[in-house]
Amino acid sequence: MKPSNNFKVKLFTAFTLMLFFLCACGKGDEDAMAKNIQQVIRPIKAICLQSSNGQSSRIFPGTPKASQDTQLSFRVGGPLIMLNAETGQYIESNAVIAKIDPRDFDIQIKTLKARLDASKAQLSESRLQYKRYEQLIKENAAAKATYDQIKATFEMAGAQVRTDTENLKTAQNALKDTTLYAPFSGYVDKEFVENHQIVAAGQPVISMMDLSAIEMEVALPENMLPDIDCFESYICRFDALPGKTFSARFKEVGKQPNPSNHTYPLTLTIKDDESVLIRPGMSAEVTIGISLKEPKNFFIVPVSAVGNDHTRQSFTWIADPDTGKLTKKPVSVNGFAKDGNLKISGDIFAGQWMVVAGVNSLTKNQKIRLITSPSSTNVGNEL
């Protein structure tokens, strides 16, 4: 039996009314949901803006080293008869470190002195002969050939005296070089020989280091070379000396880069009463303060703190921790800082709380809650 037309009309009317009520209920639920969203208090992540004071900083690993570190050796060779140096020993400047047996050098000096005496006697005799023939040649009483021969003998005797004199000085200097002196006050780092050992000229005997002043070497990236004139301060910290900081001053920047990473060696000098605690090779870091030519309300913030609206205007959210309200602030982006964060300026001030996450999903009427206790694992004190 087929349904009548009247039944179809009633069924259609009932279905339409049901859809109407369903839609009405859905719209009411959406409004209620939107209202509930506004009532939800959302915790936000924020940072407290701090004035840059016209300065930023970069941290680099550093390598401490002695201001003077050298290997000492003799300029002559021979057997050692005295070695007055032990690893870790402090030695004053000009103190005797080691001696070579001077016997052969004494003999050489005696031989050269005798040779010099003989050449001086030969020079004296040839001078008298030359003077006689010089007078005779003026009187035309001697042959020119004989005079020339006498003159040549005299000049050769003079040259021999000069040669023997220089040889004697060299031998005397070699005798002095059999004693090795400390070139500066410092500590013995290593011993390379033992007493009574025969050493060669130039063979390292000991190494010394001067710890009265410590130098710090930093591998400086090549893109920071133009900013060297803006470096204002250098603070050094050492893992082995927790809680202590040491100020340093600029010494020099190397002209040749490291071929492996294209960095340039920046050398600093640490002058501090407690620098004696520092040892070469300690694990260290150097914080370099860099002056900035920026406006007074210039701030460095994470990239996530800045959003862009439909007009491409950059903005950020300032949170009031007392009222839980947000204020949208347009800002100007002035490029990137050295650490990859943004440099911004605008109607913002130090001490304000800036939202640094989810800025594009917030609204003016959004209720927020600012967490004021930083996490113990929160680097940079971001909330």
Is this structure's pTM higher than 0.75?
Answer: no
pLDDT at position 61, please? 94
Of the ranges 150-164, 232-246, 280-294, 332-346, which is most confident? 150-164
Pairing of strands 284-291, 186-191: unpaired
- For the cut 90, the answer to whether the pLDDT of residue 111 exceeds it is yes
**Buried b or exposed e, range 71-83, using 16+ CB within 10 angstroms:** ebbbebebebeeb
CATH of 295-374, one of 2.60.40.1660, 2.40.420.20, 3.30.413.10, 1.10.10.10: 2.40.420.20
Q: Which residue has the tokens 């060696």?
A: 265
- For the cut 50, the answer to whether the pLDDT of residue 374 exceeds it is no
Q: Please list, in sequence order, all residues whose beta carbon lies within 8 angstroms of the beta carbon of residue 121, skipping any fewer than 6 positions away.
A: none
pLDDT confidence band for 53 (50 / 70 / 90):
low
pLDDT at position 18, please? 54
Q: How many CA atoms lie within 13 A of 36 on its CB side?
A: 6
Which residue would you say has higher pLDDT here, 30 or 209?
209
Mean pLDDT over residues 145-163, rounded?
Answer: 94
Distance in angstroms (rounded) separating the CA atoms of residues 58 and 288: 5
Say how many Å lie between the first and final Cα of the chain, rounded.
Answer: 74
Helix (H, G, I), strand (E, B) or coil at 344: strand
Structure tokens at 44: 């936000």
Contact 46, 383 (CB under 8 A): yes
- For the cut 70, the answer to whether the pLDDT of residue 115 exceeds it is yes
Distance in angstroms (rounded) separating the CA atoms of residues 62 and 103: 49
Residues of the chain with CATH 1.10.287.470: 102-177
- For the cut 70, the answer to whether the pLDDT of residue 54 exceeds it is no
Residues of the chain with CATH 2.40.30.170: 58-67+210-291
**CATH fold of 102-177:** Helix Hairpins (1.10.287)
Distance in angstroms (rounded) separating the CA atoms of residues 277 and 287: 19
Beta-bridge partners for 288? 58, 234
Average pLDDT, the chain: 84
pLDDT at position 202, please? 95
pLDDT at position 314, please? 92
CA dist 298 → 70, 77, 344 (Å):
48, 67, 6
Contact 355, 319 (CB under 8 A): yes
pLDDT confidence band for 41 (50 / 70 / 90):
confident
Structure tokens at 202: 């130039």
Percent share of the chain, pLDDT over 90: 51
pLDDT at position 37, please? 46
Mean pLDDT over residues 239-263, rounded?
Answer: 91
CATH of 58-67+210-291, one of 3.20.20.140, 2.40.30.170, 3.30.429.10, 2.40.320.10: 2.40.30.170
Q: Please list, in sequence order, all residues whose beta carbon lies within 8 angstroms of the beta carbon of residue 338, skipping any fewer than 6 positions away.
A: 56, 58, 224, 290
pLDDT at position 57, please? 77
- For the cut 60, the answer to whether the pLDDT of residue 150 exceeds it is yes
For the ranges 37-46, 78-87, 163-172, 296-305, the lowest mean pLDDT is seen at: 37-46
pLDDT at position 1, please? 47
Minimal CA–CA distance to 224: which of 247, 248, 246, 257?
Answer: 257
pLDDT tens digits along 217-229: 999 998 888 888 8
Distance in angstroms (rounded) separating the CA atoms of residues 290 and 307: 28
Distance in angstroms (rounded) separating the CA atoms of residues 270 and 17: 88
